[in-house]
Amino acid sequence: MLSSSFVFLELTVLGLISWKRSFDALADEYVLAKLKKQALDRLLESGRISRSTYDVFNAEVDEHIGEIERQQSALLQKMSCKIGELEGQIRTLEMLLANFEIQHVAGEVSDEVYEREIGLLSVGLDTARQELNVVKEAAKTLSSTVQSFAVEATTQEKSRNFENADVSDAKCDVAEGLTAVQTAEKPEVMQEKSGLQSEQTKTEAAT
């Protein structure tokens, strides 16, 4: 019992360190990718780079961001599994704790063994509960980050579509304007042609 309690405590601490490193690494990568995207946007808006150059680098950043999103989703899934695992471990430790209390009251376990095992179980429970709270909070934060980025990406896509629509509308307006000018000129052209035909008719009659 003593060794198993120590093993559980060690695995719990190692698991906490492992997923936290993964979470922090992804968070740092996300912030860096966002800064790169903002830098590209500023360069394009200031006219320091062309749209074609912007598109090349922006595609690379978007690809990296897509990979971060896939890793975030995988980590969220792992966190969800970890939460279920920790909840199961907490229930098991609580049952062991209750069992030792009952055995101690019944005189089936000595005071020395009782104090030692209850102490280990209490430490294990506290550690598991702390990790559960931290994992839940981290999962909530990561989920919010993913949703926030998804909303931002959707907003940017709508903005790009709106810009493209403006360009398309402008082209249509130019085409319509040319058509209108051509249509407006047609009566004059017809009148000019009619005048020329009248003069030609008079000349022929005179001849």
* pLDDT 10s digits, 76-93: 888 889 899 999 999 999
As a 3-state breakdown, the chain gives helix, strand, coil percent values, each rounded to 5, of 95, 0, 5
Angle between helices 51-105 and 2-45 (to 10 degrees): 160
Distance CA 184, CA 76 (A): 65
Distance CA 109, CA 143 (A): 46
Mean pLDDT across 157-180: 53
pLDDT tier at 5, thresholds 50, 70, 90: very low
State the chain's mean pLDDT as an integer: 75
98 pLDDT more than 90: yes
Contacts of 80 (CB under 8 A, 6+ apart): 139
Q: For residue 41, how many other CB atoms are within 10 A of its CB? A: 13
Domain positions in the chain are 2-166
pLDDT of residue 12: 53
| CA-based torsion, 161, 166, 169, 175: positive or negative | negative
Whole-structure pTM value: 0.52
